[in-house]
Structure 1
């Protein structure tokens, strides 16, 4: 065995989670050898297809420290690389048009205050000034949080990768991991298209494909590949790049500017879910929707049109879809893999992978190094559902329903 085949840590998967773990591990453990193995190109699947809302304040408070760490990482990496990630700090409007949404917004504003984040209520006229396309007839309350942002997700992922390489990580693209190597219940390495590699610890960070590696060691990793989809309109002066993100829980939709256009996504009543073993290795040419999601959009168009009546007239230029790893409780799935030594997993992004990447990266890097996570990640425990079969139809439908019914970011 050559030294090139031996590492302290092997990270399987070069998406944003895998690259973030490599960044933190090399930063906090200088001199240790980290190997990231990606079968395609880094950040080319779910990462590059994300809408990339860097949401800080959420109703699920255990997400917040993870997102705040992402902001801290961005500042540190910009300094390290002497480059700007060009974060768009436009703020976010939380728009409530029902009693339930008003109550949810009240709680969210309280959470913002507890975390010291700026938040204020604004009237409908002010909301309309900030979002010229917004119809406010049914709006009951709007909260504005000016520190919220969005970014280019691929760029953020590659920032993690580039800094990790500067710190000594070896990132190999075009190397497919085909299996885990075990001695009794201890994972000692991986088999790949380029031979076997060995390490003291292995991290599964292969996104919605993660259950395939979990199955090899008899563990059902809790997540399912559920489609996320969004559209980008034609360019229009209604959508300046400086305008805020809009979260519309009563339409189960969100929107943000995108280069002079409007990017918007919806949560359709019947989310598409696919078994992890039915997804191709490369989703570049995968058909997520034969009609570009138009049937799904049509099913909820009337709800969205209450706030954006121009949706009927504006042209739609782009359709983007990808798989996100969802769980029945809309929580991440990260931590030590139960019943197997020296194996860890970072999966189940539940549509929050970009904003939480920094916190996930730091938490997993510390666990792999034998330390404690600096964050409370108990809500993301891989054992919280008990023994599950991530390939069963019942499980897949539970995860799909969780996305369809999700109202908050």
Structure 2
């Protein structure tokens, strides 16, 4: 940026995407102001498994790899401990019933196409690795994948590192509207008044549309609520991540379909349930998850945590003796094609949202792409699959 005036970039959203963008822009020399209406990581960014898993969509792999490299880079100098596993702890994809075997194989093969080593296991081989699994578990695959970190700590650490690079972080400061000059965006209007800038990056997750639509940008970003249940185990039951193959639609005979969020919204009034068991270092266990279209700001179906736990006990019967520490939910921003929207949508206006449940694994790479686009630098990987122009409503 030598010889050019320092651009002022406003980032709206204090989740992992917004904080990563603020950090990457600031360390490249931009003057950055980050606005967050609540606390940092108050939404889904602080309410998820915190897993680094290879995406099943090969298009997302370069972005995920860039994220992992960034987190490894900042961990040593992080103002907060990130809790990043030094290597994968292992990820078992299991078929709890015979008719789920095809889904387990498809999931493993998709991971293999992303560069993950996989190994087919019989039911007996799986129970040698994880003896607490239910006797009825049919077969599965072992993936050399799965690194854990603290997602809330990561998000806050990125904001603090951005501040160390000169960024201004404004918490409890709600952006109400965008400042327009003709078809250009030249800043924001917040609770604190109007703030001018050279560029605005909207990274407000499922709430991004409320700021974009008034300036003529209509992106198909919808909210999908997901629950997690935190359990105190009677004893350490697992050493690896365990995931039941596919997502399980309540009432579906096959139980292994993997619909898009839009399909769930259209066809299924009941939550879309999955069973992912994550052992924590303190011997507790995180169990999730669920996907359900968001209609109101509060949960429409408070029975979801109980049903997640019931599904987990089917896979790991000893969990019936576990005590529930807590249960919580977050709202994920989703798109019809399952890929985020990243890029310029107006002169001076950029967007980075729609990551679904992959904000952590894609956050660092997203920030590098956003910074490159905003500052006119070479993109670290192909930006076209994420171009907002793929959706009709960006004009």
TM-score band (shorter)? 0.7 to 0.9
- Displacement, 1:210? 0.4
Q: Aligned partners of 1:24 and 1:379: how far apart in 2?
A: 21
Q: Which of these residues, 264, 278, 300, is aligned with residue 287 of structure 2? A: 264
Q: Aligned partners of 2:209 and 2:372: how far apart in 1?
A: 23
Going from structure 1 to structure 2, the CA distance change for 1:106 and 1:232 (only over 3 Å counts) comes to closer
Q: Deviations over 1:158-182 (max 9, x none)?
A: 1211211111111111221111001
Q: Aligned partners of 1:70 and 1:45: how far apart in 2?
A: 20
Conservation of the 8 A alpha-carbon contact between 1:121 and 1:142: yes
Q: Aligned partners of 1:296 and 1:235: how far apart in 2?
A: 18
Q: Which stretch has the larger CA shift, 33-42 or 133-142?
A: 133-142
Q: Aligned partners of 2:312 and 2:81: how far apart in 1?
A: 34
Q: Aligned partners of 2:293 and 2:128: how far apart in 1?
A: 36
- Displacement, 1:266? 3.3
Could you say which residue in structure 1 is the equivalent of 2:106?
A: 104
- Displacement, 1:148? 2.0
Q: Aligned partners of 2:166 and 2:79: how far apart in 1?
A: 18
Could you say which residue in structure 1 is the equivalent of 2:327?
A: 319
1:18 aligns to 2:48 (yes or no): no
Going from structure 1 to structure 2, the CA distance change for 1:105 and 1:215 (only over 3 Å counts) comes to closer
- Displacement, 1:126? 4.1
Q: Which of these residues, 241, 244, 248, is aligned with residue 245 of structure 1? A: 241
Could you say which residue in structure 2 is the equivalent of 1:60?
A: 57
- Displacement, 1:123? 4.2
Could you say which residue in structure 2 is the equivalent of 1:333?
A: 341
Conservation of the 8 A alpha-carbon contact between 1:122 and 1:144: no
Q: Which runs of 5+ in 2 are unaligned?
A: 1-5, 249-273
Q: Secondary structure at the match of 1:17?
A: helix
1:376 aligns to 2:391 (yes or no): no
Could you say which residue in structure 2 is the equivalent of 1:342?
A: 348
Q: Which of these residues, 352, 367, 378, is aligned with residue 358 of structure 2? A: 352
The root-mean-square deviation of aligned C-alpha atoms, in Å, is 2.5
- Displacement, 1:48? 0.9
Could you say which residue in structure 1 is the equivalent of 2:132?
A: 133
Conservation of the 8 A alpha-carbon contact between 1:335 and 1:367: yes
Could you say which residue in structure 2 is the equivalent of 1:94?
A: 93
Could you say which residue in structure 2 is the equivalent of 1:161?
A: 159
Q: Aligned partners of 2:207 and 2:315: how far apart in 1?
A: 37
- Displacement, 1:352? 0.5
Q: Aligned partners of 1:34 and 1:91: how far apart in 2?
A: 38
Q: Aligned partners of 2:111 and 2:50: how far apart in 1?
A: 22
Could you say which residue in structure 2 is the equivalent of 1:254?
A: 276
Conservation of the 8 A alpha-carbon contact between 2:80 and 2:157: no
- Displacement, 1:77? 0.9
The alignment's TM-score, normalised by the length of structure 2, stands at 0.82
Q: Aligned partners of 2:37 and 2:111: how far apart in 1?
A: 43
Q: Which of these residues, 175, 180, 183, is aligned with residue 182 of structure 1? A: 180
Q: Which of these residues, 259, 273, 278, is aligned with residue 294 of structure 2? A: 273
Q: Which runs of 5+ in 1 are unaligned?
A: 1-5, 280-286, 389-409
Conservation of the 8 A alpha-carbon contact between 2:185 and 2:347: yes
1:76-95 aligned within 5 A? 76-81=73-78, 84-88=81-85, 89-95=88-94
Q: Aligned partners of 2:327 and 2:131: how far apart in 1?
A: 23
Going from structure 1 to structure 2, the CA distance change for 1:35 and 1:134 (only over 3 Å counts) comes to same
- Displacement, 1:136? 5.0
Q: Aligned partners of 1:109 and 1:386: how far apart in 2?
A: 31
Could you say which residue in structure 2 is the equivalent of 1:364?
A: 370
Q: Secondary structure at the match of 1:208?
A: helix
Conservation of the 8 A alpha-carbon contact between 1:42 and 1:158: yes
Q: Which of these residues, 22, 45, 49, is aligned with residue 43 of structure 2? A: 45
- Displacement, 1:369? 0.7
Q: Which stretch has the larger CA shift, 123-132 or 378-387?
A: 123-132
Q: Deviations over 1:202-257 (max 9, x none)?
A: 000111110000111011122111101121223321336xx111121245321101
The alignment's TM-score, normalised by the length of structure 1, stands at 0.80
Q: Which of these residues, 197, 200, 223, is aligned with residue 198 of structure 2? A: 200
